[in-house]
Amino acid sequence: DHIKDAVREESGITDISYHTWIEPLSFYEYNGGVVFILIPSDNSIAHNYITTHYQNFFKVAISELIGEAVDVSFVLQKDVNINNEKTSTPSAEKESVSESQSYENSNLNPKYRFDTFVVGSNNKFAHSASLAVAESPGESYNPLFLYGGPGLGKTHLMHSIGHFIMEHNSSAKVLYVTSEAFTNEVIESIRSGKQESMSKLREKYRTVDVLMVDDVQFIIGKESTQEEFFHTFNELHQAGKQIILSSDRPPKEMETLEERFRSRFEMGLIADIQAPDYETRMAILRKNAENFGNHIDDEILEYIATNIKSNIRELEGAFNKIIAYSRLNNVEINIDNVKEALRDIISPEENKIITPQLIVNTVCEQYGIRIDDVVSRKRNSEIVLPRQIIMYLCREMTDISLEEIGRILGKKDHTTVMSGISRIKGKLSTDEDLVKNVDIIKKKLGPTS
């Protein structure tokens, strides 16, 4: 009670917070210089909250009371139960408690592990690189730089590495952090103006064995944050500690990246993750279906895999949505219900077949010209360019022949079509406006495989 009072006083906690968080706590154990305090619930949010907000206050209060510097750690009821079931020897208890403690501090999501990661041709390389790093951290590739578009599994792989390392070496200090959290911590410690706060930050990041920084592109360009990160990187790297970074693109495509970062990011191994192919999408959906437990027809999984192509997060989102839809509406999961459930994700339009006529219409609309003109013999430049784009897109997006393309556009001869297509191909490597326009037209036409 004396300690709780001290914490209450020092932290300036509100009454309601005090009654919620602090009052229910009780002493659990003192072992190896660590005071373990019991949180009488199984709520890991409470654990996180109490640890981040009050651990230090407890540390100070207890150290003062007993006249000796101690560490403080919080344990949840369920951790205690597990320990008691396993064994009752105090040393084993302690070990197990501090193990779960290090998990908490690592910020790892228990779901993201190697054995829940589906390997496909799109991520095979990144997967083996990650496994290699997990097997010998600091020794094989340092840093490991993973890049790829959103929702393709970068974070999942990073966490998998973390779990793997901690499972094989329980004393390894693994720390995962998002760039956003890192930035906030740096800003906060600068704002506080306290040297002590800065040293604590450095202590936290520069004493780990494995540091993972997710979406590192968000740190770049933020002056003080990138400076802090730079020194952290150097210190860890020099000490042979493993660094794992992720980004939405490779270092050489990060436009504002300074040379000193680029050279460091490229020092180890760079591995990309591409969009998943159809087989991988199906495999991921099958895994989801397996976890769900009930049988789901392949027809349904195929429908999702055919229509959602670029992002695994969306793929899983669609899957979860059909489950929720069937539960909420109390209907079975069949293809009609699935189409209805996913109406706002997969618009029926996206299934449309791309025809030459559709291309003609869309291109004319984009350039604000008349269809009559584009299929006429007119040769003014406002007409010629869109006409060539039509040739190019018909060739790319449909399987009709050059002759047919010529016929649609009123050309007798397919060599005109050929030269039109190569004009556009040439211009696409230099003309940014054209690239943009063709992109927009393609989007309007809908997704293609």
The contact set with Mg ion (CB under 5 A) reads 154-155
Structure tokens at 188: 């906060």
Measuring CA to CA, which residue among 226, 275, 244 is closest to residue 161? 244
Q: How far is the CB of 168 from Mg ion (least distance, A)?
A: 24
Token pair 């230090």: residue: 56
Q: Cα dist. 364→75, 146, 185, 419, 440 in Å?
A: 67, 41, 52, 20, 13
- Give whichever of 51 and 155 is closer to Mg ion, judged by the CB atom: 155
Instruction: Show the tokens assigned to 441.
Output: 């037209």
- For residue 93, the minimal CB distance to Mg ion (Å) is 36
Interior CA angle at 272 toward 271 and 273, to 5°? Answer: 130
117 scored as a contact of ligand ADP (CB under 6 A): yes
Q: Which one of Mg ion, ligand ADP, none is in contact with 8 (Cβ closer than 5 to 8 A by kind)?
A: none
Among 313, 414, 427, 444, binds ligand ADP (CB under 6 A): 313
The answer to whether 281 contacts ligand ADP (rule: CB under 6 A) is no
CB of 287 to ligand ADP, least distance (A): 6
Count of chain residues binding ligand ADP (CB under 6 A) = 17
Residue closer to ligand ADP, measured from CB, 80 or 118: 118
Residue 155 binding ligand ADP, by CB under 6 A: yes
The residue with tokens 């578009």 is 149
Smallest distance from ligand ADP to CB 280, Å: 7
Among 284, 301, 385, 393, binds ligand ADP (CB under 6 A): 284
Residue from 156, 163, 264, 411 binding ligand ADP (CB under 6 A)? 156
Can you tell me which of 137, 143, 153, 251 binds ligand ADP, judged by CB under 6 A? 153
Q: Which is nearer to ligand ADP, 58 or 117 (CB)?
A: 117
Report the residue number, 116 or 136, with the smaller CB distance to ligand ADP.
Answer: 116
98 binds ligand ADP per the rule CB under 6 A: no
State in angstroms the smallest separation of the CB of 246 from ligand ADP: 7
144 makes contact with ligand ADP (CB under 6 A): no
Return d(Cα 150, Cα 310) in angstroms, integer. Answer: 9
As a whole number of Å, the end-to-end CA separation of the chain is: 66
Under the criterion CB under 6 A, does residue 282 sit at the interface with ligand ADP? no
Given a contact cutoff of 8 angstroms between Cβ atoms, the answer to whether 382 and 369 are in contact is yes
| 307 sits near ligand ADP (criterion: CB under 6 A) | no
Separation of alpha carbons 272 and 379, rounded Å = 45
Closest CB to ligand ADP among residues 143, 148: 148
* Region near ligand ADP per CB under 6 A, out of 5-13, 188-196, 216-224, 308-316: 308-316
Q: How far is 315 from 245, CA to CA, in rounded Å?
A: 24
Strand partners, 26: 38
Please identify, using beta-carbon distances, which residue of 165 and 284 lies nearer to ligand ADP. Answer: 284
Rounded to a whole number of angstroms, the minimum distance from the CB of residue 138 to ligand ADP is: 23
Q: CA 330 from chain center: how many Å?
A: 33
Does 150 participate in binding ligand ADP (rule CB under 6 A)? Answer: yes
Neighbouring residues of 433: CB distance < 8 A, sequence distance ≥ 6 = none
**16 three-class SS:** helix
In the bound complex, which residue of the shown chain has the CB atom lying closest to ligand ADP? 153
Q: Enumerate long-range contacts of 98-104, CB under 8 Å, 24 or more apart.
A: 98/34, 98/73, 99/170, 100/75, 101/73, 101/75, 102/166, 102/170, 102/173, 102/174, 103/166, 104/44, 104/47, 104/48, 104/51
**Interaction of residue 309 with ligand ADP, rule CB under 6 A:** no
Q: Angle at Cα 176 formed by Cα 63 and Cα 28, nearest 5°?
A: 30
Comparing every residue's Cβ against Mg ion, the nearest one is 155
Q: Which residues bind ligand ADP (CB under 6 A)?
A: 112, 116-118, 123, 148, 150-156, 284, 312-313, 316
